[in-house]
């Protein structure tokens, strides 16, 4: 059967509206635990309230906490009936990290007794300071207490080497010598008793002869007698020197060297002109028209220089042997003259083979076959000689690969 239609109105006669077959009703409910109103959607300004995920927005529900002892002002007095929010902490018998990475939120941690763990970044420094304080107390001794050398500790007394000015009444440091000895100043008369006592002093010492000073013994002291003897010897030597001096010059006689002539200007400076007939001390030489070994002169004996009939000094190159070889494969790059290895020598004579078709450059290790490294260019049949200490001080390079160079080294 058809359902009857019913119109509902409020106390003022206003028709109650319907949305999507639902009655629009504003319900007033008392706060009683006996009423279950089910799920409720909260609207703020007609929009659903957000869940506060992230930053707060215009649809975030804001709740004010009433001041009922939970929130207190700064410096407000405490009461045993106050309320508050308990901060939570995790019991950890062994302290360890509860956060996965740095800058994450993490709870406080307490030990088994509920004590909060804290970290002191300078704990090692504090421990060191406490240990030093403990060491210091070991350096304090009672009057007449025993001291063990090389094991007991103590506080070093400061000393200073150098001049210092200290105002009267101020604290100063002990004055030391460069060797670390304590400087002692005594303004009164110093008295020493007992034989064998030595007191080092500096400056002026005044001695007052008394009953304990034996002045007669000083004149016969062995050291004083020795000093007198030496002074007499020095006096005699000075008198001898005075006798050899004439004006500002001293005459010196060379024992065993006699001459019928007096030397005139025997010592000459560099660049002085030669004076014909001047007498001096010449180098000892012997004229030998033919160079020979001097009679009765053995190896390592002193001997005379020898000159020829014109006074020219004979000299000797010192070479005693020679060896001739050939390098028959000179390449285009710099290489050692002797491919078989280095040999010590005094001189090397070289000649480019007359059969060569190009040039051979001779020089040091930078020699090049185009002459850019410097050196001597040898054409076919050209000769070159040089004094060197070893054969392979000489390097060669050819303009045509495989050229020949003959050489003789002297030892």
Q: Indicate the domain borders of the chain.
A: 322-410
Encoding tokens for residue 58? 């215009």
Question: Does residue 387 or residue 16 have the better pLDDT?
Answer: 387
Is this prediction's pTM over 0.85?
no
Give residue 283's pLDDT: 78
Neighbours of 53 (CB within 10 A): 5
Q: Which residue has the higher pLDDT, 72 or 171?
A: 171
Cα 276 to chain centroid, rounded: 65
342 within 8 A of 355, measured Cβ to Cβ:
no
Instruction: List the single range of 39-48, 237-246, 372-381 with lowest mean pLDDT.
Output: 39-48
Q: Which of 95-104, 209-218, 267-276, 360-369 has the largest mean confidence?
A: 360-369
pLDDT above 70 for 408: yes
CA 153 to chain centre: 34
Neighbours of 395 (CB within 10 A): 20
pLDDT of residue 202: 65
pLDDT for 51 equals 67
Asked if residue 1 has pLDDT above 90, the reply is no
Q: Are strands 403-410 and 347-352 parallel, antiparallel or unpaired?
A: antiparallel
**What dihedral angle (degrees, nearest 10) is formed by the CA atoms of 218, 222, 226, 232?**
50
* Domain 322-410: CATH architecture, name and number where available: Sandwich (2.60)
Task: Report how many helices (DSSP H) and strands (DSSP E) the chain contains, helices first.
Answer: 3, 20
Q: Is the pLDDT of residue 343 over 90?
A: yes
User: Is the pLDDT higher at 352 or at 315?
Assistant: 352
User: pLDDT, tens digit, for every residue of 217-263?
Assistant: 454 556 777 888 889 899 988 888 888 888 778 777 665 555 566 66
More confident residue, 393 or 256: 393
């Amino acid at each position: 059967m058809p359902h009857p239609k019913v119109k509902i109105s409020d106390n003022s006669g206003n028709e109650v509206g319907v949305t999507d077959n639902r009655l629009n009703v504003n319900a007033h409910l008392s706060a009683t635990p006996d009423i279950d109103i089910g799920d409720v959607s909260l609207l703020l300004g007609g929009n659903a309230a957000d869940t506060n995920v992230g930053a707060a927005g215009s649809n975030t529900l804001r709740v004010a906490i009433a001041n009922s002892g939970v929130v207190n002002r700064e410096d407000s007095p405490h009461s045993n009936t106050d309320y508050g929010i308990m901060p939570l902490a995790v019991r950890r018998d062994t302290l360890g990290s509860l956060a996965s990475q740095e800058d994450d939120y993490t709870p406080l941690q307490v030990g088994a007794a509920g004590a909060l763990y804290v970290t002191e970044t300078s704990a090692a420094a504090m421990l060191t300071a406490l240990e030093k304080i403990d060491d210091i107390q070991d350096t304090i001794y009672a009057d007449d207490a025993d001291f063990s050398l090389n094991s007991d500790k103590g506080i070093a007394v400061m000393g200073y080497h150098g001049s210092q000015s200290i105002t009267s009444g101020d604290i100063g440091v002990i004055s030391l010598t460069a060797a670390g000895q304590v400087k002692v100043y005594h303004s009164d008369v110093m008295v020493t008793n007992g034989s064998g006592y030595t007191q080092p002093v500096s400056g002026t010492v005044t001695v007052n002869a008394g009953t304990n000073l034996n002045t007669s013994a000083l004149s016969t002291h062995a050291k004083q007698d020795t000093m007198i003897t030496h002074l007499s010897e020095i006096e005699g030597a000075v008198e001898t020197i005075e006798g050899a001096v004439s004006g500002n010059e001293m005459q010196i006689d060379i024992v065993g060297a006699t001459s019928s002539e007096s030397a005139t200007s025997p010592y000459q400076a560099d660049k002085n002109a030669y004076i014909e007939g001047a007498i001096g001390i010449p180098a000892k030489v012997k004229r030998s028209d033919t160079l020979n070994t001097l009679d009765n002169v053995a190896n390592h004996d002193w001997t005379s220089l020898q000159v020829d009939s014109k006074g020219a000094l004979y000299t000797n190159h010192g070479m005693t042997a020679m060896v001739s070889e050939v390098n028959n494969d000179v390449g285009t790059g710099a290489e050692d003259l002797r491919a078989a290895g280095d040999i010590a020598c005094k001189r090397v004579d070289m000649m480019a083979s007359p059969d060569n078709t190009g040039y051979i450059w001779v020089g040091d290790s930078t020699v090049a076959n185009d002459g850019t490294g410097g050196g001597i260019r040898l054409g076919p049949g050209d000769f070159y000689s040089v004094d060197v200490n070893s054969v392979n001080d000489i390097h060669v390079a050819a303009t045509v690969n495989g050229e020949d160079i003959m050489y003789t080294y002297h030892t």
